[in-house]
Structure 1
């Protein structure tokens, strides 16, 4: 279970409070030459034009033992979020942008004038959510901390499961749904 540390974050577009991680992505429909790849709202190629990702130090509590650890995910820490962003806004060329979206774009000095097909996505980790964290467990004066590894972590290779090696550079965050369970896990 996640709980905020000294600083809590607010998501950029939906204004969700008490977050430990927020992500807001703005994508525009990709074009081939001067034509839209797919003129219907189902764009076949999205180009990332703006990204906001923030993380803060937070606490995680193990449901079984009740042990609590500080996760150092804040200032200048590399974080690998395995979190899906939800599509909040999806426009087509014919639709007028909402005043909320226009205001959000103007606050970030992004163009809201030209007719465009855009998609706004937002994801966050809010206080109270269940989360898995991969990092280095450290103990100092009876206090537990999860720190980023000093070098990238490899997932290894399991050819029978078609799992190819991947490298993660930083603390890995993954939301846990209710059906996900790791037996014999410590702090998760």
Structure 2
């Protein structure tokens, strides 16, 4: 059983490439709800990289193997059928995304952060605006390079300055500290390297 669970874990985070929304059956909806609830209860701020993310998903799925087996039975898929179980894994991941499980999206992003290979840096420029593209982005103008966007994914030192009206900040010099990670962007329907804000001075 554990081997079966592990075999579909990696598929959950690549399943986002399939974006067709379809009505879920009762068992699929139940699976979606319990997994999303379980992931939501995890302390996602402590998860960095695939190893920790995999453990979080494994723990959630292990608690609901009865539903996994029921889905396989309803689809007449043998648990030893690799391709059949792959399809179920992709479907589970797709459902978590299309049903707007924000905790799963956050976990997917954190699973793509390698704590041993994270690129970090800072960029100075003048503040232009906050841009909403699924998530908030802080956009600044870097001298000689034009506009640069930085993903506001988690709380960071200085974030309180940008939670309200930001018109007074336009044109002000700021320094954005960031870490680079490859994440899935729903609107772009693909994985892209982005700079996630870790602080603003």
TM-score, structure 1 normalization: 0.24
> RCO higher in 1 or 2 (8 Å CA, sep ≥ 6)?
1
TM-score, structure 2 normalization: 0.23
Comparing both structures, which one devotes a greater share of its residues to helix?
Answer: 2
Comparing both structures, which one devotes a greater share of its residues to strand?
Answer: 1
